[in-house]
């Protein structure tokens, strides 16, 4: 079983782009498993992962292609949680979204995508907006 971890933030547009990119890959639904991960950095309302709009967007696209993803939710620092979940679940590929930032912006605000690309044990594909 080839496992793909699709890491989503709150952006519906980014989720749509990532899900469309994954469904465009040649794959056998019986030999691939898609896991959707959303990491909460703050969740005072106690929202469940399937209630997150971007997760629903991706789920709809996967459903259109006959793929039933596993939904995973966690809390903490996104870059650490993504790597932890990928390792804990023996993921073969990580799918991330990205935003264009200047080098100064990355240095000041950090970049989850950059951190995961540099530190993950798995291959990472990035779908920038």
Q: What is the pLDDT of residues 19-53, one digit of tens each?
A: 999 999 988 878 899 999 999 988 877 889 999 99
Domains by residue range for the chain, with CATH: 2-128 (3.40.50.620)
DSSP summary character for residue 74: E
The string of pLDDT tens digits covering residues 49-89 is 999 999 999 999 999 999 999 999 999 999 999 999 999 99
Q: Is 98 exposed, middle or buried (0-12, 13-18, 19+ CB in 10 A)?
A: middle
CA torsion 41→83→123→129, rounded to 10°? 10
How are strands ordered across the β-sheet holding 93-98? 70-75, 32-40, 2-8, 93-98, 124-128
Helices within 1-129 (DSSP H only) = 12-24, 53-64, 78-88, 103-109, 112-119
């Amino acid at each position: 079983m080839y496992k793909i971890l699709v890491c989503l933030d709150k952006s519906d547009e980014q989720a749509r782009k990532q899900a469309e990119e994954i469904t465009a890959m040649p794959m056998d639904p019986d030999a691939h498993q898609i896991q959707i991960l959303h990491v909460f950095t703050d969740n005072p309302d106690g929202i469940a992962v399937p209630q997150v709009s971007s997760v629903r967007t991706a789920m709809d696209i996967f459903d259109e292609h006959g793929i039933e993803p596993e939904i995973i939710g966690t809390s903490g620092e996104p870059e650490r949680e993504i790597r932890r979940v990928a390792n804990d679940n023996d993921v073969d590929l990580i799918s991330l979204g990205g935003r264009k930032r200047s080098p100064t912006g990355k240095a000041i605000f950090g970049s989850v995508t950059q951190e995961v690309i540099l530190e993950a044990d798995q291959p990472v594909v990035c779908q920038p907006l």
